[in-house]
Amino acid sequence: MVKSSKPHVALFASPGLGHLIPIVELAKRLIAQHGFTVTVFAVTTEAGRAEDELLRSATSSWPGLFDTVVLPNVVDDSLGVEPKTGIIPRMLGMVRGALPTLRSSISEMVVKPTAIIVDQFGIEAVKVLAEEFDVLKYVFIASNAWFLAYNAYLPYVQNKVDPNKMFYIPGCESIPGRDLLQLTFDPNCRAYRDFASIGRDIMTVDGILVNTWEDLEPRTLAAFKDDLSMKSIVKVPVYPIGPIIGRPKQPDESVVYVSFGSGGTISTQQTIELAWGLELSKHRFIWVIRPPIENDRSASLFKSVHDLDDSISKCLPKGFLDRTRDLGIVVSKWVPQEEIIRHRSVGGFSIVNGVPIIAWPLYAEQNMNATMLSENLGIAIRPEGKPSEVLVGREEIERMVKCVMDNEEFGLRRRVKDLKKSAYEALKEGGSYCALSKIAKDLK
């Protein structure tokens, strides 16, 4: 356990590598820029190897300052969560099942934390622990401010939401109905009730940290401060502290990086079409590939998807690896995504690294993110159909790759470079740095 005399903060990551990575990055920021010691609590999943590697790397990089506690993956049976239930109920069941170990771990600490920071789906931990240990409580929204506004406003929606209409949020951009979480359309389902409960519970904390910055979401952030309707809902301070990554690097923009994140999976036929699309584009690529899984776009969120190794060719068109040997690299094991996307040659992935994006939404709030990137910000393109519902053909994939790599007709690269510059400025003193400094001052 951490025994430093520096102020101590506990951070709690809900299940899934995609939730753990931003919590770890925030923890490193608190150490490097604000002089804290941290303890990261992580709920294990069946995708444990990648999680262990991430935590081990952070601990070795910050000896004596960065501690980790791995919590057991025990679902609370009282919640009645079935194995095939939705992502949110299942996640909340795993969080609640980990709370007894979390409570005992904090009780045994010699230096108790002055605050606990949880991610959006770990709000149950704040409810249980904050009063017991008399600590400040914060929620960290790792996605964006728009998703926070959606989660906060949904509990107050009176009428049934129409998927064919725009979804109004006070002071913010409206969301196309097709991009909302599916639970939005069934107020009587378990997932809706859980998500609405999260939205209400978030408003009981001392502050909300959001992985965004002013130039990225000016309208939404202004709504939290100026819109009377939104202010009546979000009554606690909102701190834009993003982007939560290291310092951007300048890419050479010659390689397409293909990954569906820590939880996304695609079908066998979609894997084949993607392979053909990459080959036809004639652009160099790095493809982090998982075994195809049918009818479950978030299959690897909670469980390990085995590395393909020698069987990788079985998932790809015949001869693909031989034909693209000098063009691309196919990776079948977990790799540190941030290191790859910051590599100087990656040309099609990250805002903060100044490269345009092909948005490929599969589950959760990814459809909202795709709309924000392609329509609101104009720095991405997306398939015409929803990849979670239809097969995206090789010709369309070829077209999208060539668009982001060759064609500046739509101004994608210019706009994303402007945002890269603003992201870098936000990381300096002032902006997001200042927002996190305010929180750090309160915690000391």
- Which pLDDT score is estimated for 421? 87
Beta-strand relationship, 66-71 and 37-43: parallel
Q: Kindly name the residue from 19, 34, 194, 283 that is annotated as catalytic.
A: 19
At 357, the pLDDT band (50, 70, 90 cuts) reads confident
Neighbours of 48 (CB within 10 A): 15
Burial of 153 (0-12, 13-18, 19+ CB in 10 A): buried
pLDDT 10s digits, 233-245: 999 999 999 888 6
Q: Could you confirm whether 119 is annotated as catalytic?
A: yes
pLDDT 10s digits, 178-226: 999 999 999 999 999 999 999 999 999 999 999 999 999 999 999 999 9
CA-based nearest residue to 362, from 389, 388, 332, 335: 388
Q: Kindly name the residue from 8, 34, 67, 119 that is annotated as catalytic.
A: 119
Averaged pLDDT of the chain: 84
Burial of 33 (0-12, 13-18, 19+ CB in 10 A): middle
* Mean pLDDT value across residues 21-35: 93
Both tokens of 99, joined, read 């709370």
- Report the C-alpha dihedral over residues 377, 378, 381, 382, rounded to 10 degrees: 40
Q: Could you confirm whether 186 is annotated as catalytic?
A: no
* Mean pLDDT value across residues 260-287: 86
CA distances from 161 to 156, 168, 173, 365 (A): 12, 10, 16, 17
pLDDT 10s digits, 50-89: 788 888 889 999 999 999 999 987 765 555 555 556 788 9
Burial of 384 (0-12, 13-18, 19+ CB in 10 A): exposed
* Mean pLDDT value across residues 427-438: 81
pLDDT 10s digits, 303-344: 554 444 556 677 899 999 899 988 888 877 655 555 554 544
Q: Output 194 or 284, whichever has higher pLDDT.
A: 194
